Amino acid sequence: MTPVLDALGRVADLGGPVVMILIAMSAIALALILAKLWQFLRLGVGRHDRLDTALGAWDRGDTALARDGAAQAPSHLAALAVAALGAAGTRRDEAALRARLTSLAAERIARLGAGLRLLDSVAQVAPLLGLFGTVLGMIEAFQGLQAAGAAVDPSALAGGIWVALLTTAVGLAVAMPASLVLTWFDARIAREARMAERIIDTALCAGVGADG
């Protein structure tokens, strides 16, 4: 751990405050990613085997097995399934019932997306901030070139330029993993939304298309 901290310290010294801000942003992004992974694991995101079995039983008309399976499912959508299967077949307006169940599903899906806008902001702002640091560094390097006049040291100029470019590299290094992880989270949330729709459709339209 100490060599990593030493390396980060050297990068921060070279890149200045912009790199320090980017390092702080990367720490925030990492903490958010770990928190979301723990949330997904705790809520059973993607663990729909029992729900699949329960919905299949509901389509076959085995309501008791379906309701028991939904109640025992480890998924965060189990409560939605229990509510949908429990309300199905009652003398209620189907449009109102579907609207209510859709609202319950939206609440649960929204919990999964909480905090991801911050990760999206990191992915978008980090490369721009890195480019901003590079522009500032290039300005400083050429100011030094102007001040040197005829006694220009090419090695000093090259050193100033690569230090300036360091901020862009750090910005991209922060943004690319954040963007990839955000895409993965979005894909998983989209799958959960489709599963929620399937639960509602199956509960209210049992047997329709089950053999297709």
The separation between CA 12 and the C-alpha centre of its own chain, rounded to angstroms, equals 27
Both tokens of 30, joined, read 């990492």
List of residues 6+ apart from 5 with CB closer than 8 A: none
Q: What SS3 class is residue 212? A: coil
CA distance 185 to 36: 9
Q: Which of 91-105, 130-144, 172-186 has the lowest mean pLDDT?
A: 130-144
Confidence check: pLDDT of 212 > 50 = no
- What would the two tokens of residue 166 be? 């360091």
Quote the pLDDT of residue 211: 53
Q: Which residue has the tokens 């290094």?
A: 173
pTM to 2 decimals? 0.81
Query: Which residue type sits at 110?
Result: A
| 162 vs 36, residue with greater confidence | 36
**113, pLDDT greater than 70:** yes
Q: At residue 151, does pLDDT exceed 50?
A: yes
For residue range 23-52, what is the model confidence (pLDDT) as tens digits? 899 999 999 999 999 999 999 998 999 999
Mean pLDDT in residue range 64-88? 89
The residue whose two tokens read 């060599």 is 3
